[in-house]
Every structure is written in structure tokens, then in C-alpha cells.
């Protein structure tokens, strides 16, 4: 069942077109990632999906409701963790949780949630006294305190150290395992690769591709596999010369073959025909970074 349906969404701010004709659906229980460079329109898309921003054109259905007419009802069922969520400096962690819980008809046990996020000891600490990572974890706790059906998490691990980031990933998985649909805006390839069932790649307000991490890698970089080996005897000068789409280069003693299709079979057959054995044979696995590069023509900038 589709929990979120965005159809032909458009949004501009003055002369800036932030979102162009974005359509996507998110299924029940998915962790759905949105990645793209700075300013690609990710936050604007998510804010329109959650009913926080009005699109200039297109439609949003979320949990079968329209944010324009059913905003009140929707807000009870959605959890939002937004970038740079700021609370009053003096508000204590426990007070913030109690306040947010009071907005919802069926809130989670906020003390339990704080424990889960490693903030159990911080109930009486003022917001201003929390570290960056603790503020981030509090914003996740606040997004989840309403027991949402859909959680929007925008840059949730930015500012966390690698250990805290991994713990947060485990938490997101446990949230999903409780049946919550999660939309995750992220700058981190490793994060979306590890967590997301499907990913939308957005650039300059447009959706370039939507697929599983493996699907994105497969379609975007199918013709860019790479095999390296050190030959145990000189290779013939015309090694693989007649094979379309395959190139052979040298890097010191190592031969690097790039190409698509059944590259391993092609290379091994050609080596056998030449009577040469490959030493230190290695096949490079394409990554989501490679897929992103192939789709957008540039690497994802993490600054
Ligand atoms: N309130 C606003 N007023 C004017 N322009 C805006 C506003 N919000 C966003 N923009 C512009 O719209 C475009 C898309 O911004 P958006 O924040 O949606 O991108 P993003 O992909 O979330 O970026 P980031 O990864 O940096 O958070 C950018 O060019 C941005 O400068």
C-alpha cells in the first residue's frame, strides 16, 4: 500500500525553481531515502510531503489524506525531525518530551524513548547544555514521541560521530520494524545504502532515478565494472583489442580492464586463450557513490 503519493510537485521561491515535477510513492513500512547535493530540493520536497509547505502545483496524498484539507488529522500521525531543530535554551529535555507528547492522542512512553536514545540521564538538562549529538538525538526522540505512522528524518546523523551514527541507524531500523514508514533525507551514501529499501536521487529539483541501492548501482554503472590483475607472462599486444566496450590499461605491473556485460568471463577466456595466468585478481564492486556519479556527473559533496 502506498503511504505517500507525490504527483508532479512543483515549487519555486521567487526566481529559484526548487522542485520540478517531482513524482514518487513510498510504500508502507519502507525506509525511503532522498539523496542529492546541497540545494537539490530535498527539504522542500519533504516539507511539501508533510504538509508544511504548499506546492505551487501537483498533489500530495499521505496516509490517504490531503495535507491541504486534512492537515490537523495528518499532523497527529506524522513525526518530523527537521534540520537544525532549535528549542528554547532553558527548556529541559524532559519538559520538551512531555510537551511534545501532549500534542498527540496516543504518544509513546517518552522516558523509554529517551533511554533508547541514550538520553535517559539528561531529563533535567537544559537544551543549551546538550552536545551537538545529544541535540540531534533529542530531535529524533521528539519526532518519534507521537508514535507516528510516518516519520520524516532530515539529515538525522549530520553532526554525529561515526559510533553515534551507527547507533542511530540501528534505532531507525527498530522504528521501521515497529511498522513506521520512514522517509530519510541524507547526505551520506553509506547511510542510505545501509538503511534504505529504495532511494530517490534528486538534483536541481528533479528526480533522476528511483530504485533500490542495488538497482541504482546495477543500472547506472552496469558498463563500468573493473577487473585488475597482474599477468604472470607478457600479454599479447592485441589483448581484448577486438572486444567492444572493453578497455585495457596498465598501472605498473597491474592490468586494469574496464567494461560491461559478462566482463569476468570475457577476461578469463581471453587470458586462457593467451595462456597467461592472472595473479592478484580483483574485481571492483561498484558502489552507490559510483552510481551517483554516473547519474549526476559529479560526486556527492558532504560539506
Ligand atoms: N525559504 C526559502 N526561500 C528562498 N529560497 C529557498 C527557500 N528554501 C529553499 N530555497 C532554495 O530552494 C532550493 C532548494 O532548497 P532545499 O532546502 O529544498 O534543498 P536541499 O536539497 O534540502 O538542500 P540541503 O541539502 O542544502 O539542505 C535551494 O536553491 C534553496 O536555496
pTM over 0.90: no
Lookup: cell for 188: 551520506
What atom of ligand 1 comes closest to residue 83's alpha carbon?
27
Nearest-CA residue for atom 5 of ligand 1 = 13
Q: Is the CB of 44 under 6 A from ligand 1?
A: yes
How remote is the CA of residue 39 from the centroid of ligand 1, in Å? 5
150 membership: H or E segment, kind and range: strand 150-154
pLDDT per residue as tens, the chain (303 positions) = 799 999 999 999 999 999 999 999 999 999 999 999 889 999 999 999 998 899 999 999 999 999 988 988 888 899 988 665 678 899 999 999 999 999 888 899 999 989 988 899 999 999 999 988 888 889 888 999 999 999 999 887 777 778 878 888 888 898 898 889 999 998 888 899 999 999 999 999 999 999 999 999 888 777 778 899 999 999 998 899 888 889 899 889 999 999 888 889 999 999 999 999 999 999 887 888 888 888 888 777 654
What atom of ligand 1 comes closest to residue 11's alpha carbon?
12
How remote is the CA of residue 10 from the centroid of ligand 1, in Å? 13
Q: Is the CB of 41 under 6 A from ligand 1?
A: yes
Instruction: Assign 3-class secondary structure to 10-29.
Output: EEEECCEEEEEEEEEEEECC
Under DSSP, the state recorded for 248 is E
* ipTM of the shown complex: 0.95
How remote is the CA of residue 141 from the centroid of ligand 1, in Å? 25
- Cβ density class 221-257: b for 16+ within 10 Å, e for less: beebbbbbbebeeeeeeebbeebeebebeeeeeebeb
Under DSSP, the state recorded for 33 is E
Residue 84's pLDDT is 59
What atom of ligand 1 comes closest to residue 19's alpha carbon?
14
How remote is the CA of residue 81 from the centroid of ligand 1, in Å? 17
Residue 83's pLDDT is 62
Lookup: cell for 145: 514521541
Q: Is the CB of 36 under 6 A from ligand 1?
A: yes
Amino acid at each position: 500500500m502506498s503511504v505517500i503519493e507525490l504527483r508532479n510537485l512543483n515549487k519555486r521561491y521567487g526566481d529559484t525553481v526548487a522542485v520540478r515535477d517531482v513524482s514518487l510513492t513510498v510504500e508502507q513500512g519502507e525506509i525511503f531515502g532522498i539523496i542529492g547535493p546541497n540545494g537539490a530540493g530535498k527539504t522542500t520536497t519533504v516539507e511539501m510531503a508533510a504538509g508544511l509547505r504548499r506546492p505551487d502545483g501537483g498533489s500530495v496524498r499521505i496516509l490517504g489524506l490531503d495535507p491541504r484539507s486534512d492537515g490537523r488529522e495528518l499532523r497527529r500521525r506524522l513525526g518530523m525531525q527537521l534540520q537544525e531543530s532549535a528549542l528554547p535554551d532553558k527548556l529541559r529535555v524532559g519538559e520538551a518530551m512531555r510537551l511534545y507528547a501532549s500534542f498527540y492522542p496516543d504518544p509513546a512512553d517518552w522516558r523509554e524513548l529517551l533511554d533508547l536514545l541514550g538520553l535517559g540521564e539528561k531529563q533535567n538538562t537544559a537544551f543549551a547544555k546538550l552536545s551537538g549529538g545529544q541535540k540531534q538525538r533529542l530531535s529524533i526522540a521528539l519526532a518519534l514521541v507521537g508514535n507516528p505512522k510516518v516519520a520524516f528524518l532530515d539529515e538525522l546523523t549530520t553532526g554525529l560521530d561515526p559510533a553515534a551514527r551507527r547507533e542511530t541507524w540501528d534505532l531507525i531500523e527498530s522504528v521501521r520494524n515497529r511498522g513506521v514508514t520512514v522517509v530519510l533525507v541524507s547526505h551520506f551514501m553509506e547511510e542510505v545504502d545501509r538503511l534504505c529499501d529504495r532511494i530517490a536521487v534528486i538534483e536541481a529539483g528533479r528526480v533522476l532515478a528511483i530504485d533500490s541501492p542495488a538497482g541504482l548501482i546495477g543500472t547506472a554503472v552496469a558498463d563500468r565494472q573493473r577487473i585488475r590483475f597482474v599477468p604472470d607472462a607478457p600479454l599479447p599486444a592485441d589483448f581484448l583489442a577486438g572486444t567492444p566496450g572493453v578497455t585495457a590499461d596498465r598501472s605498473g605491473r597491474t592490468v586494469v580492464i574496464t567494461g560491461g556485460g559478462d566482463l569476468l568471463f570475457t577476461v578469463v577466456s581471453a587470458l586462457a586463450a593467451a595462456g597467461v595466468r592472472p595473479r592478484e585478481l580483483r574485481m571492483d564492486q561498484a558502489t552507490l557513490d559510483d552510481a551517483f556519479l554516473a547519474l549526476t556527473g559529479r560526486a556527492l559533496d558532504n560539506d
